[in-house]
Amino acid sequence: MGTLIFLAVVVAFGLYVRKALRPEAPHPEITEDEIKRKWRELGFFCELDEDKKTWILTGSRAGLLYFPDLLLGYVADLSNAVDGERKHYGPYGSLEIMTWHEPGIDSHAIRGSLTDLTHLAELVEAKLATAQEGEPISIRQEFAPESRYTLLLDVRADGFDPASTDRERLGATAKKPAPRTE
């Protein structure tokens, strides 16, 4: 029996190492219209604020409710049951959900067991049920108290367009002005 457990651990570790060492496929260039479409399909905009150690999801209540759906879809996919499995979301693939033996939020992923991720989905749904526009919702203590990073839901007005928040590539008003040359 002990040998069987040892072999199972070795195989699981081998799968984890193989996946971790696999190089990430480069993201092909996508057009501005494709970026906008992908943010709208996701339902919310997401970004990582490294300075504040915060993942920020920005959207209307209806748009932010796509996040629990995304988590529950991840949980329902049995291929995600093994620690180390992960999926990327958003036009840049920056939002990563990962299966792990304990819940956590860091600069790379929002992670946890399938049970933990289901709990996070339920927590987000419950908080959004009473959320008001302009009322930020901070989630860390209830999900991953040992994490240094926080998940922040930035609730906007109904009809909010998540593509409008993408400062990286979209919109003239989101671009930094060119430096003056005198």
| pLDDT score recorded for residue 3 | 59
Tell me: pLDDT of 28 over 80.
no
Separation of alpha carbons 84 and 80, rounded Å? 8
Encoding tokens for residue 38? 């992908």
Helix axes 66-76, 114-129, angle to 10 degrees: 160
Band of pLDDT at residue 161, cut at 50, 70 and 90: very high
Contacts within 8 Å (CB) and 24+ apart, 17-22: 19/84, 19/85, 20/84
- CA-CA distance, 117 to 147, in Å (whole number)? 15
**Alpha-carbon gap, residue 27 to 17, rounded angstroms:** 22
Entry pTM: 0.77
Q: Rounded distance, CA 101 to CA 85, Å? A: 11
Query: Which pLDDT does position 34 carry in this prediction?
Result: 93
pLDDT at res. 29: 77
d(CA 57, CA 90): 11
**Each residue's pLDDT tens digit, 11-26:** 444 445 444 444 444 4
